[in-house]
Amino acid sequence: MKTIKGDVALRVLILTGKFGMGHVAAAEAVADQLRAYCGAQTEVVDLLESIHPKIYKGIYHGYNAMVNKIPRIYNSMICLDTQLSRLSLREKPANAQVVGSLVRRYRPDVIVSTWLFGSKYIEAYRKRSGDRIPFVTCITDIMAFDEWLSDETDAYIVGSEETKASLAARGVDPAIVHVGGVPVRRAFGRCCRPAGGDAREVLIMGGGLGFIPDADRILETLAAMPRVHATLITGWNQKLYSALKGKYANIDVLGYTDDVPRYMEAADVIVTKSGGATTFECIQAELPMFIVGPYFEQEKANAAYIEEKSLGRVVWGRRPDCGDALAAFLADADGRGRIKENMRALKENMRGGQIGGIIDSLLSQRNSEEIRLEG
């Protein structure tokens, strides 16, 4: 009987997809947390690549182009993940076969998904095979699409009590829904620094795709502020990187980096979009957020959560005064101090939803059921 703290390392298969980098960041965070918790052997697998090995790169390319060049169409679809999910779920035997091949290859004791595709594919596999392998879904935004939900999911990890209530309203047993936030790497929890005086170090991030609304207006504001330094991370957006590199004396421009925790540790404020992973990385780092023009539906829901919980300042829509709002936010040391306190309290409330303890409980339940059946 396998236990999470047994003599043999736990094997965990983590399914994700590269639609933006939030799903992948959550998957890597799950792996990081489980390795620290019990020395688990983890495998992070791009599920879309397993589903469509010949065309997955083209799908990702099309997604990235849509987000950056025609975001209105993307938003009108609500979420491309959802549309692809509906198309892909037509042939459940094929869905089960994809997961079956992954199970045979990696022989996991537990499966975790940080992408909504995972729920339906594991559902197909468990129903057709009879395999009761424990399955955990980590929902990576405050808004939870229906495609995340499955009656074959043993546990959900969600970002907020509001998300838990939303799932309960759609028939999910609240007992299997755990408020743990979107999983983030442990390094973000070591970034905290006290608030005091005017903010002098600003971090600017737009996610893996480098999509930053009103970037020009924000950069001009920061460039004109004395004794302020900023670091702009453009992610995979090479065009944005080339356009801004060296343009401002007090703003360093970086491309993609794995060292985001270090930059968060140095920052007093982050200017960013309200992606799920970024939001909860900032909460763990206790880094006040300045959110500009949330546009996509899931980001609007995350921004509303940030505003409601007083975790930062949200500028809704494209506004000519966003530079002035940022300057005021940087100068408001007391307000930023309260934001840090709010983040600290949220972290305490999320401790019961950590994935190591949840998997521990699932494996103990399964072992008890096996003993009962053998008896």
Locate the DSSP E strands across 116-172: 135-138, 155-158
> Which residue did the predictor score with more confidence, 323 or 290?
290
Looking at residue 117, what is its pLDDT? Answer: 80
For residue 78, what are the CA distances in angstroms to 19, 71, 145, 204?
Answer: 14, 11, 9, 26
DSSP state of 9: P
Q: Is the pLDDT of residue 16 over 50?
A: yes
pLDDT digits (tens, 9 = 90+) for 71-102: 666 665 554 445 554 544 444 677 789 999 99
* Domains assigned to the chain: 11-180+354-374 (3.40.50), 187-349 (3.40.50.2000)
Looking at residue 238, what is its pLDDT? Answer: 83
Backbone angles phi, psi at 281, to 5 degrees: -65, -40
pTM: 0.88
- Residue appearing with tokens 């995350």: 302
Q: Is the pLDDT of residue 159 over 60?
A: yes
336 vs 193: CA distance, rounded Å = 11
Q: Which residues pair with 15 in a beta bridge?
A: 45, 113
Looking at residue 343, what is its pLDDT? Answer: 96
Please answer whether residues 125 and 95 qualify as being in contact, where contact means their C-beta atoms are separated by less than 8 angstroms: yes
123 vs 131: CA distance, rounded Å = 10
Looking at residue 91, what is its pLDDT? Answer: 46
35 vs 37: CA distance, rounded Å = 6
CA-CA-CA-CA torsion for 143, 147, 148, 149, nearest 10 degrees? 110
Backbone angles phi, psi at 241, to 5 degrees: -60, -50
> Would you give the end-to-end CA distance of the chain in angstroms?
15
Average pLDDT over the chain, rounded to whole? 87
The closest of 151, 190, 150, 207 to 26, measured between CA atoms, is 207
> Which residue did the predictor score with more confidence, 336 or 2?
336
* DSSP 3-state of 110: strand
> Which residue did the predictor score with more confidence, 17 or 74?
17
78 vs 145: CA distance, rounded Å = 9
Please answer whether residues 266 and 238 qualify as being in contact, where contact means their C-beta atoms are separated by less than 8 angstroms: no
The amino acid at 35: R
> Which residue did the predictor score with more confidence, 10 or 84?
10
The closest of 157, 135, 160, 139 to 148, measured between CA atoms, is 139
* DSSP 3-state of 179: strand
Overall average pLDDT of the 39-53 stretch: 93
Q: Is the pLDDT of residue 147 over 50?
A: yes
Overall average pLDDT of the 1-6 stretch: 52
Looking at residue 92, what is its pLDDT? Answer: 60
Overall average pLDDT of the 307-331 stretch: 90
The closest of 99, 108, 101 to 133, measured between CA atoms, is 108
